[in-house]
């Protein structure tokens, strides 16, 4: 089953989800790029920040989800949005800045895509991406353990599961392509509020394919148990629920001299 995305659910906790994008883009050294592409733009709220930073650039947002692109087109008119899959996307001409935020983790074997993505960037241009690095945390392991239990296993065994690498792995791969690389990681302590906030968070992203794969008669029971286990792993304090979230950042300048 191919899962779909819900822009409204994804935008829950938009400030927390957006902070890594802001910190990633701040490290890009481009001055006046002519073309900027956001590969995996989602609902476009963060792509708009690229138009803010480089108002003279032609900014394009691309996403494989028609639902996300439709939402983006409604929300932002300074950016061109189109449906495209990063696995086979190829620009008509090299771009000056290529950004991919919280997208590559959904592409199995995405390390092998890096040479081709670097090849879409003009000499002296910039390739920057951010991926979650928290897949050993309870928010993911609880989902995987529950999904492997009966009666859920037969429905969830082939669902999409995100994954990523440590910063050093990306640094080595991109430095091997001649890029000048800045790679780092940050663990955020997101303070969440509201009913079952960790479930609300993961149901819009990492757990969504699993939830959609379940038949209607099994999904409520799965969700109830998932919520219960998450509440135990992430207890509520007087000040809210703390969700530790590790993210991996990479900013690479492609070799050559910009025209």
* Residue-by-residue pLDDT tens, the chain, 259 positions: 454 544 444 445 567 888 999 999 999 999 999 999 999 998 888 999 999 999 999 999 999 989 889 989 987 888 999 999 999 999 999 999 999 999 999 999 999 999 999 999 999 999 999 999 999 999 999 999 999 999 999 999 889 889 999 999 999 999 999 999 999 999 999 999 999 999 999 987 778 889 989 999 999 999 999 999 999 999 999 999 999 999 999 999 999 865 4
Q: Taking Cα atoms as reference points, which of 76, 88, 71, 95 lies closest to residue 7?
A: 71
Distance in angstroms (rounded) separating the CA atoms of residues 125 and 98? 8
Domains of the chain: 7-253 (3.40.50.150)
Say if residues 61 and 75 touch (Cβ distance below 8 Å): no
Phi, psi of 214, rounded to the nearest 5 degrees: -80, 140
pLDDT of amino acid 15: 77
Encoded tokens for 240: 């809210």
Phi, psi of 190, rounded to the nearest 5 degrees: -75, 130
Question: At 35, which helix (H) or strand (E)?
Answer: strand 35-39
Neighbours of 243 (CB within 10 A): 22
pLDDT of amino acid 14: 67
pLDDT of amino acid 7: 44
């Amino acid at each position: 089953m191919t899962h779909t995305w819900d822009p409204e659910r994804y935008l829950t906790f938009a400030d927390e989800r957006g902070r890594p994008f802001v910190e990633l883009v701040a490290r890009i050294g481009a001055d006046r790029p002519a073309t900027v592409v956001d590969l995996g733009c989602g609902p476009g709220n963060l792509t708009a920040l690229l138009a803010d930073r480089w108002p003279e650039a032609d900014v394009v947002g691309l996403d494989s989800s028609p639902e996300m692109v439709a939402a983006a087109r409604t929300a932002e008119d300074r950016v061109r949005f189109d449906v495209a899959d990063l696995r086979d996307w190829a620009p008509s001409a090299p771009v000056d800045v290529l950004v991919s935020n919280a997208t590559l983790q959904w592409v199995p074997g995405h390390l092998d895509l890096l040479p081709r993505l670097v090849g879409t960037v003009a000499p002296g241009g910039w390739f920057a991406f951010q991926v979650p690095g928290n897949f050993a945390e309870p928010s993911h392991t609880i989902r995987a353990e529950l999904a492997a239990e009966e009666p859920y296993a037969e429905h969830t065994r082939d669902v999409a599961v995100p994954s990523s690498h440590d910063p050093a792995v990306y640094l080595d791969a991109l430095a091997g392509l001649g890029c000048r690389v800045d790679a780092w990681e940050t663990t955020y302590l997101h303070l969440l509020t509201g009913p079952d906030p960790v479930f609300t968070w993961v149901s819009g992203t990492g757990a969504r394919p699993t939830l959609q794969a379940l038949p209607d008669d099994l999904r409520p029971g799965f969700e109830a148990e998932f919520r219960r286990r998450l509440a135990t792993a992430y207890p509520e304090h007087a000040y809210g629920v703390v969700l530790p979230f590790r993210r991996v950042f990479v900013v690479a300048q492609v070799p050559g001299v910009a025209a």
